[in-house]
Structure 1
């Protein structure tokens, strides 16, 4: 998921840090699905308290419009998907699905739907609820076009026909009975059950959120999660939800409700937290040290407990530079390698991020399975080697140290520029002329798609906690998020083979092999990994936010 504002603002989806992967994930204290048989029933919140949680204005709050982390944070608590990645155990579990199986070649997936689970309007969740929801995402008649997040279903047979408007049904989706969902893929994909954990693929009541009902549903969606809407989403102000009394996919929420308070910036929200009028806020970079000192750091980085309220755990997030490989200058791999080696990532993290970021040495986040320290050799700091590569590429320095090499560095105009200026200074030390080109995000994104840029600031965070969710969308041809316009037959053979590898451990190794190959070609330059940087009020006795920035609000508790 692409990130609109990689410096100090909400991470944004398509047009969406230190610590070990397993140990950090295993330390998490919250889990959305509780009992293995899923029979626990809710009677509403066990407390009269309402938890207030900071978000910025979301792109939407229902599956069709989940294009940023704020939208996903809300929808994750209003909707339940087929599966759920449990960060406590590091394992994928069934949620609305009672069980699931797949064919030997990983092209046909069968999900058995849990009986007796309900939508917030009292209607039953069935296999047809998922078939309808997925068709709704892809159908251009739902809105003015297919949902921007319908790409999650791109591997399902019939996807291209429905998104093109030439069919109304996904030919690969069938419901043999009310509680069986069968999905046929256009190619083998062994991680499809991870994709099915994404909130965007949650069920929707048949007929809802289409035609004349589209706007009403968008502002007050009918979900199946632990919280249900209380009134309508007040755009720019708040989203309020209350515990769902008939919730059957896990334990009852421990609070009576949650109010997502919408702020334009984290500085304002954090002041509200300090004043005692907000329960959880994003912490501005400049307030990181103060928050740690005043509220105490979470023991595992993800769960706030009394006197340990600051969450600094690693996110599934990587900030990077994008190189347009079709640009006359950036088409030379030696130039790309040199520009990456010239950046002093540690100095930037120390001076600008104040401990809330760590230098990136892999395109994969440090908190993701498959990450290896130093996997991307050209993400190291080595200005001498950078100079040598530039010499070899034909950009030798003259008597004044200039190399007759210049380019524009495209950045988001909404961001502060300190980090970009630091990179500019690093490149200038090598004799390169660099102009920072501040562009509004919409124009910036269009330049990425059109390939009319040289170098740009970019970031990505995971839709699902697997390496494929980085390697395939960022590097495979035909993906809109491959903004480097990188195309390489060998890489595509490696990644396609990895996706079709049935054994989990072998699949991770195959993904690493594909990652190793592309790391030498440097279509991107990893920059840093970011921490959650959230803090809770002292009245919050427990609140977990996962590495995917998903708040487990049904597990949250407040001291009365």
Structure 2
């Protein structure tokens, strides 16, 4: 994207650069920020040229409010405040980020005042809150859903060699039934303690350009779902595999799969839950055409939305894009959004694309839920959560804590 889209960069002054693009690029300021990735990160050219990349990797220099002090692999990274930071010096003298994989250990360290703030799990939130700690959550929700694979195989253009008939899920009525069978609010309340809301689409979120705010989550209507199954010729139901695997943004993946399987069972759809891991599963869903063992089956999935709603369309691309391809003929909308000269036109193309997949029930959106939680005690004045489209980022409120860690 950057190599093809940026034709030249002119240095105007010490603090100004002019970027020349091959085509209109209305989201460029976002795309070169540190929010979607590292492509726009500013590096010290003279330092790298003089010392080399290997030295830079061990002794990095950036443009942020903290100066690198030390790094011990698998243990910690330590920083000290950069008093001359352009945005104002940090309220802390030191910052040490510890690597502690075990949830229980992090919680215990928090209780012993060995750390000021820690990542916690959803099931720890209530206990820590009762113990006097404050719980902060990432306002950028994780998109939780169930993918239905190869639902359009057999349709014109997707009926050649290598395409497997998806069976029941090729019928729109069946896909609608699978959606109406799900009580999304109950999942949010029971599995995520109400920290979220039912979803109408995925993976875009309310912060995304082109988010279709006019679309409502599919209603919970098991009676209509059973009628749709009967009308489609599946009154006695059918079998389907529901693959599930751990993802950092969705720790309750197995519980979600079990809940979905229970709702589907109530309308006669017998889901076999197949635990796996993302490494083993990725080659199946990225293969084009998708293999017979995946076509017509389902899986849980989770990710966060990006600011540019166009980036939420890849899961729906058709086979020419060599990705998930959950719906056919989506290239038109992605291409229009990519070539749009204004943010408004990007939004229009994205919205139209999402209306198509919504009306065809191509997969099963579940909910937008809390993907990250932190707990902290009285040593911090508070925590301010800044939304980043790929991940949550936490920064302390103004107000020096009683400790310097």
Which aligned pairs between 1:116-265 and structure 2 lie closer than 5 A? Answer: 154=1, 156-158=2-4, 172-175=7-10, 179-185=16-22, 188-197=24-33, 198=35, 199-201=37-39, 202-206=41-45, 214=53, 216-232=55-71, 234-248=72-86, 250-265=87-102
Q: CA deviation at 1:351?
A: 1.8
Tell me the secondary structure at the aligned position of residue 551 of structure 1: strand
Q: CA deviation at 1:357?
A: 3.2
Tell me the secondary structure at the aligned position of residue 540 of structure 1: coil
1:449 to 2:286 alignment: yes
Which aligned pairs between 1:312-351 and structure 2 lie closer than 5 A? Answer: 312=137, 314-325=139-150, 326=153, 328-329=166-167, 330-351=169-190
1:539 to 2:379 alignment: yes
> CA separation of 1:231/1:556 partners in 2, compared to 1, >3 Å: closer, same or farther?
farther
Cα distance in 2, alignment partners of residues 373 and 449 from structure 1: 29
1:409 to 2:242 alignment: yes
> CA separation of 1:484/1:428 partners in 2, compared to 1, >3 Å: closer, same or farther?
farther
Structure 2 length normalisation: TM-score? 0.78
> CA separation of 1:319/1:533 partners in 2, compared to 1, >3 Å: closer, same or farther?
same
> CA separation of 1:344/1:456 partners in 2, compared to 1, >3 Å: closer, same or farther?
same
The answer on whether the counterparts of 1:376 and 1:519 sit within 8 Å (CA) in structure 2 is no
Which of 317, 320, 331 is the matching residue for 1:476?
Answer: 317
Richer in strand (by share): 2
Tell me the secondary structure at the aligned position of residue 200 of structure 1: coil
Q: CA deviation at 1:266?
A: 3.1
> CA separation of 1:207/1:422 partners in 2, compared to 1, >3 Å: closer, same or farther?
farther
Tell me the secondary structure at the aligned position of residue 393 of structure 2: coil
Cα distance in 2, alignment partners of residues 547 and 177 from structure 1: 31
Gaps of 5+ in 1: 1-153, 160-170, 297-308
Which of 383, 388, 396 is the matching residue for 2:227?
Answer: 388
1:362 to 2:197 alignment: no
Q: CA deviation at 1:412?
A: 0.8
Cα distance in 1, alignment partners of residues 284 and 102 from structure 2: 26
| Aligned positions, number | 367
The answer on whether the counterparts of 1:252 and 1:554 sit within 8 Å (CA) in structure 2 is no
Gaps of 5+ in 2: 154-163
The answer on whether the counterparts of 1:410 and 1:455 sit within 8 Å (CA) in structure 2 is yes
Aligned residue in 1 for 2:136: 311
Which aligned pairs between 1:490-505 and structure 2 lie closer than 5 A? Answer: 491-505=330-344
Cα distance in 2, alignment partners of residues 460 and 183 from structure 1: 32
Q: CA deviation at 1:409?
A: 1.0
Cα distance in 2, alignment partners of residues 256 and 418 from structure 1: 42
> CA separation of 1:500/1:239 partners in 2, compared to 1, >3 Å: closer, same or farther?
same
The answer on whether the counterparts of 1:314 and 1:366 sit within 8 Å (CA) in structure 2 is no
The answer on whether the counterparts of 1:174 and 1:183 sit within 8 Å (CA) in structure 2 is yes
Structure 1 length normalisation: TM-score? 0.58
Q: CA deviation at 1:294?
A: 4.2
Q: CA deviation at 1:512?
A: 2.5
Q: CA deviation at 1:437?
A: 1.1
Cα distance in 1, alignment partners of residues 84 and 135 from structure 2: 33
Cα distance in 2, alignment partners of residues 428 and 180 from structure 1: 59
Tell me the secondary structure at the aligned position of residue 286 of structure 1: helix
1:431 to 2:264 alignment: no
Which of 264, 271, 274 is the matching residue for 2:111?
Answer: 274
